[in-house]
Amino acid sequence: MPNTKKKTISSRPRKTTKKKDPLDHLTHTLRYKFCVSGAAETGHCAKDSQKKAEEVGKEIAKRGLVLVTGATTGMPYWSAKGAKAEGGIVIGLSPAASKLAHIKSYHLPTDHHDLIIYTGFDYSGRNLLLTRSADAIITICGRVGTLNEFTIGFEDHKPMGVLEGSGGTADYIRELLEKSHRGFGNVVFSSDPAELVEKLLVMIHEEEEKNGISGRLAA
């Protein structure tokens, strides 16, 4: 007897299992890493620089970004505090080779960080790893060490943000670039933390669009 039962055609697309390409950035949710570089000793910084550093950390966390610091005191520390207040992720790169040396020899803090990597490369080596690991670098106040981190980032063509009015190195960078005859590269300036973070995000997006690797930012 012939089968008179009608076949039902589903409007739903057939489920297929597609293997994700691990090299395809669009299948990942990698977060951008923003480094805060600044004075560990803040006596020469602007009076509101500590508050501004915390605001920078908060703005980084609000956007779902990861804050990277030199696991030190001062401006990086206060930015870490601000990021953690907003539930953000903070990673520190220490100049020390161990937790013991970090605390006992370098006298550096461990709070307000989710993870501290002990590089064992002292300050100059740590500075290189710190800036290389970041997608963007923000300078707040600063001394010579901060200037070292800035010039490394500048030579690497990193997106660089300078918080003007925070004192120290940050307030000399514009003049320094003008007199160095190298142009301003990827450096942007602002005295407003939110605006500075937003400028850097726009720069990163534009650069990744140009290079065909956009879509890495987690929602």
Question: Which is nearest to 156 in space by CA: 132, 179, 126?
Answer: 132
The model's pTM is: 0.85
Q: What is the pLDDT along the chain (219 residues), one digit of tens a residue?
A: 555 554 433 334 444 455 555 444 444 568 999 999 999 999 999 999 999 999 999 999 999 999 999 999 999 999 999 999 999 999 999 999 999 999 999 999 999 999 999 999 999 999 999 999 999 999 999 999 999 999 999 999 999 999 999 999 999 999 999 999 999 999 999 999 999 999 999 999 999 999 988 765 444
For the chain, which domains are there? 29-209 (3.40.50.450)
Q: Which two tokens stand for residue 87?
A: 């539930």
Q: 3-state SS of the chain: helix, strand, coil percent to 5?
A: 40, 15, 45
Helix and strand numbers, DSSP H then E, in the chain: 7, 7
